[in-house]
Amino acid sequence: MYPSEKVLEIKHPVIARDLTILRDKNTSTAVFRLALGRISTILAYNALKNIPLRDFIVETPIKNTTGYEIDAEIVVIPILRAGLGLVDAITTFIPDARVGHLGMYRDEVTKKPVDYYVNIPNGIENALVLVVDPMLATGGSACDAISFLKSKGAKNIRFICLISAPEGIDKVLNDHPDVSIITASVDECLNENKYIVPGLGDAGDRIYGTT
């Protein structure tokens, strides 16, 4: 068990049902995307739980009362390509969130992340930066992404993923103890090919139908 302020594993019947859809190798791309969208929305909602609010007076048709607006700059950073599948979940709640992109793939032999594209918005120093990727396996991609964003000045980072392996969680907590993880499942382990067990297979291939 991890401390919940470090690793928030969201338990919910809808998540249990949708994770099953995602894990099922016979699920079609269309149905996979719908389940991914639902789970991502629940994760995003929870990842935004304690963001700061600013109060102001709002005039209802009846009287003035206290209203609230979000008092935080939110930047979303999907790790391409699979991370793109989680962006809409954040912008559902924060329509003006800015979106940066980090292109990274795991080399099939070394299993180490390889960078191929970077486009990060200005101003991440003062933003809540939500790094999104469906899978946290060895933690190599997540840790490289987080280190890179810190080198660009990011100070407040949360990592959102659908499925995580203990190995990846341990690496993120060890390398970046200031970063919290929001996940729908902490799975059992990694296999000999560094895939998450039981996992869902290759997230990018399943989202984009590229098997």
- Give the binding site for ligand PRP (CB under 6 A): 79-82, 104-106, 111, 113, 133-142, 168, 194, 202-204
Burial environment of residue 86 by CB neighbours within 10 A (0 to 12, 13 to 18, 19 or more): buried
Choose the binding region for ligand URA from 43-51, 73-81, 149-157, 196-204 (rule: CB under 6 A).
Answer: 196-204
Which of 175, 195, 198, 208 forms a contact with ligand URA (CB under 6 A)?
Answer: 195
Phi and psi at residue 106, to the nearest 5°: -85, 125
| Between 57 and 109, CB nearer to ligand PRP | 109
Which one, 19 or 73, has the nearer CB to ligand PRP? 19
- Count of residues of this chain found to bind ligand URA when the rule CB under 6 A is applied: 8
Residue 142 contacts ligand URA per CB under 6 A: no
Q: Which token pair is 19? A: 């994770």
**Chosen from ligand URA, ligand PRP, none, partner binding at 139 (C-beta under 5 to 8 Å by type):** ligand PRP
The one catalytic residue among 110, 115, 170, 210: 110
Q: Is residue 43 within 8 Å of residue 158, measured between CB atoms?
A: no
Residue (75 or 168) nearer to ligand URA, CB: 168
Q: What number of other Cβ atoms are within 10 A of residue 36's Cβ?
A: 24
Site string for ligand URA, 47-86 (x = CB under 6 A): ----------------------------------------
**33 carries an active-site annotation:** no
195-203 CB contacts, 8 Å cutoff, 24+ apart: 195/137, 196/135, 196/137, 196/163, 196/164, 196/165, 197/165, 198/23, 199/23, 199/135, 199/163, 199/165, 200/22, 200/23, 200/134, 200/135, 200/162, 200/163, 201/25, 203/82, 203/85, 203/134, 203/135, 203/162
The catalytic residues are: 106, 110, 202, 205
Binding site for ligand URA (CB under 6 A): 135, 137, 195-196, 199, 202-204
